[in-house]
Structure 1
Amino acid sequence: MKKIIILMILFWIQNKTIILSQRCESYTPSENTTKSIHQLISRNGTIEIPIVFHIVYQTGQDTISNAKIYSQLEILNNIYGYYDPKNNSSIPEEFRTKGAIPGIHFCLAKTDPFGNITTGINRLKTEVVDIGCRGYDIMKKQTGGIDIWNTKKYLNVFIGSRKQCPFAMSSFPWDNDPLIDGIIIDPKYIGSAPKSYPFHLGYTLVHEIGHYLGLNHLSISKKKDDCTTDDDVTDTPTQSFNYYNCPEYPQYSCDQSSMFMNFMSLVDDGCMQLFTKGQVDRLNAMMVQYRSELISNSCNEVLANDFVVYPLANQSGQWYIHSQNFGEWTGTVQLYDISGKQITSISVIQSVGILFPKYTIPMPTGIYFINIKGGQFNVTKKIYHLQYEN
């Protein structure tokens, strides 16, 4: 039977409201994955993973905007690419020193499996009720969904209603079934989602991608007080059970302090705070072993060419920035001088082309840098500015 990760949601029993704090129920992995990472090829620098979102909806309540997708991408890229737990003083010191940055960047796919330009966001209206709960039907056109894209080239995230079942699920990298190798998640938990409290910070997908790339829960034991099994990561303390809600520190299991604030724990979004160095090492090992073709793809080369910057004729310090391939985009644009000092910054919401800055700025002749950043891209353009004189 296919091994999956299942996330749990709030439910009601009789007349008493019960918050089921169990966020995610995990089956024991189908094979031993404790091979030493030192026997595998290490990968330095940032790993880049193209991602495609397939939104399959029956009603307007089941679909989400591009802005929501961009919000989720920003969250993923922050947690996996920039956020350093060592700088977070709210993490207990005994665990803070173990924190690490995975060094992974996610970008929206730029071409589909047939080589056509794509936004990396697919939409399909379906007649199937609660399609996200019907096994893997959402991953197949013939059952009302969208055919999964080549799993060796794309991380496939399917977004569909899961009202009658736990709100997300993911494959493991070693499951080895390309027809169902991806993630399914309810649209309510994509991006920043205040109405979905306490799973409102977009960390559901952070957690699920952890599983997709080879991480287990901190406890995989099916027996209470069993300290003989754990997550196969050396620097996460052994736990005989998983924690839920947002417990107070410290908590103890197996005669040691528990790292319940880990992203692979089952606590609320607001309580998730770190990946460890050991988890990052395991991610690298699993990606090299099982997803080497996926991580061999590059985001930056394509993205850099997606934006064109034109200086305006007879203007001092103003440019036209145009998106060539993926249409409307949302993000920020910042201007820096050669010393790294920021000169100005603007926010962009669903635009194809913009004037930057909004008003001309007197600037001396020299080299400058324009940084264009959004959930699906982070591009820096080097420009030479020649001061215009009347």
Structure 2
Amino acid sequence: MSLLSLRLAAPTSAQSFAQTEALPPPEIPSSPLPAPEPAPILPAQQETIQRLIEAEIAGSQQLTDRVDDKVRDHFELTMNLLNLLITLLIAIPIGTGFVFWWLRQSVIDRLVSDIRRQFQQENEQIVKQQLEETVTARLQSQIVLFEAELDQLRADFEQRLHHLYQDAEKEKELTVRELGQILAAVGQNDTVPAPVGYRLQELTGRLKSIKTDSPNLTFSASDSLKTAEALYLAQQYDEAVAFYREALALEPDSAKGWQGLAKTLRQMGHPSEAVTANEELIRRHPQNPWGWFGKGYALADMRQYEAALPAYDAAIQLEPSRSTFWKQKGYALTRLRRYDEALDCFDKALRLNPDSAGTYYAKADCYAAQQQPELAVDHLKEALRRRPDWQVRLKADPDFEALRRSELFGRMFSHSTY
């Protein structure tokens, strides 16, 4: 404790003591008396005074400590503020310098980046241009080589295609020529022997393959017509119709085309379409007897026998020497039960063609319809002698159902040499 503190504390202690131990004032006599001697201090009082002094001193010490703490706190705060101010005064120039340095470095980095990017772009442009020039040059050289190779391949392909075309054309011509020879031998017959039928199937199959494999190969109207006729004889009617229509598309006035189309449609069971085709043939070629004959035949298939007779008569008038016309007219008359006229037609047909198996067969049908089994069997024998393969047809023909129940019919087959 400092001396000043002790000095300040002493009066305070005395004052406190006076306040604590307040004694009554002594009575002052009215007359002057000599001053009395102070009473002696008792040990107890002295001890009390000592305690009070010590307590006051202890309290003064605590107060002094608090004052010192406050002073110290204010001093530390002041020093901290001064240190902060000094730090700020020192840091501001440094921070400013750092900011300027950072800005300068940023500008330098930006410039370096821009220059580097520009340099990179220029290099890329140069490299790209060089690559383009190199690639273009290589491509041009490759294109030249490729075009040369392509031209060579095209030339080789065209040459090979030309050879194939020539081979296909040659094969087609040979096939069509052979078909023409067979068709000329067959004539107007609608049926052919089995070996001829097999050969026709081979030839028509070859022509269809040629047409499929060589689509650019042209078929003339004559080629298509011969192919259609061969397909008709081979009983491939759907394909025959297609080739007939193809021939008519190339040559619409072809009488053989319309005639063949009509008879094929009739064989396919389309008599009304056959009538239409025959009428088109008559319109284009009114003097062609086959148009009239085909119309009559198709009408007969539709059981319109009365309507068929004028068509047959027109055909006979145009070509009276055709035995087939007389035969079919006789069949229509048989269906109309005009048997005498029918037999007269059959006789005329046989005079024109004595070997006609079909005429004998139709005449036998006329006799069977008249319930004349002997004459019917005799004419059937003549028909089967010429066409033994008709035995199957005969056994299934409904026109001979009654005759098949007779003994004559059974004996005909038991003694037959067909």
Q: TM above 0.5, one fold?
A: no
TM tier relative to shorter chain: under 0.3
TM-score of the superposed pair, with normalisation by structure 1: 0.24
Structure showing greater radius of gyration is: 2
Query: Normalised by the size of structure 2, how large is the TM-score?
Result: 0.23
Q: Write 1 or 2 for the structure with the bigger share of strand.
A: 1
Quick check: which one's helix share is greater? 2
